[in-house]
Amino acid sequence: MLIASLAPCCRISYRVIRGGNMRKLLLFSFLAVISAVLYLGAISSSVAQGNAKSVGSDACKSCHDDAFASYQKSIHAKKSIPGSSANKGGCESCHGPGSIHVDKGGDKGVGIIAFGTKKVDAKVRDAKCLACHEGSSTTGFWKMGKHKSAGVSCDSCHTVHQSGKKNLKASEPELCYTCHKDIRAQVNKRSHHPIKEGKVACNDCHDPHGTFGKKLVKADTTNELCYKCHSEK
């Protein structure tokens, strides 16, 4: 196979690629094309909303009546957050304009920003949450925290629709055990911390959004944290 290129003297030169090098070139080109197609396909199928228009929450309700009902009972629907687009945007304030989603038959993740799924990049989902919940020390720690760097997103733990303590998807420690299965095994061992009894929660010692301390502990040192309860020690 001949590969044409410009030599330093501006003349066209040719070099021949044979055998193993030829196969490597073809393989590299093939992988590059496939990667580009998959990447662009993922973007277009899940978050492409360029020309989408608002259809209103009633249109969402016609298909997603259960989700709509739970959202209406949630703190996001009821609590007025100054400057929040949720005050007037309803479903589309988070999911984005839904006309493309409706036109394409309403398949999950098509033409909208879908939460609770890896079809949409975690950064895209988090950006929607931070549009309203930006500016606090919590989000400041989150941006440089271990959970975010590990690919965890806001909706990995929180739900927009359901009401409950901090809009968590489940109660502690079960929510944390979803990822930290090794910690479940440790907690099930003989321990003087009444975690299983519900008297101590993961969040009592750790801040999932991030801290200055190691292992997300809510103190500069582990000893300092322990002394908050065990001052007699």
9-to-6, 16, 108, 132, 143 alpha-carbon distances in Å: 8, 19, 57, 59, 51
Q: Running DSSP on this structure, what letter comes out for residue 159?
A: -
Q: Enumerate residue ranges in the chain where pLDDT < 50.
A: 1-17, 24, 28, 31-46
The reply to whether omega before 194 is within 30° of 0 (cis) is no
The predicted pLDDT at position 163 comes to 66
Q: Running DSSP on this structure, what letter comes out for residue 192?
A: S
45-57: pLDDT as tens digits: 345 566 889 898 8
Ranges of H-type helices in the chain: 19-46, 57-61, 65-72, 75-78, 86-89, 92-95, 99-103, 122-130, 137-143, 146-149, 154-157, 174-177, 181-187, 202-205, 222-226
CA atoms within 13 A on the CB side of 42: 11
Q: How far apart are CA 101 and CA 208, in angstroms?
A: 33
- Residue 35's identity, in one-letter code, is S
The predicted pLDDT at position 174 comes to 94
Q: How far apart are CA 201 and CA 166, in angstroms?
A: 14
pTM for the predicted model, two decimal places: 0.68
Q: Running DSSP on this structure, what letter comes out for residue 6?
A: E
Tokens for 68, please give them.
Answer: 């709509």
Cβ-in-10-Å burial (0-12, 13-18, 19+) of 139 comes to middle
Neighbours of 223 (CB within 10 A): 10
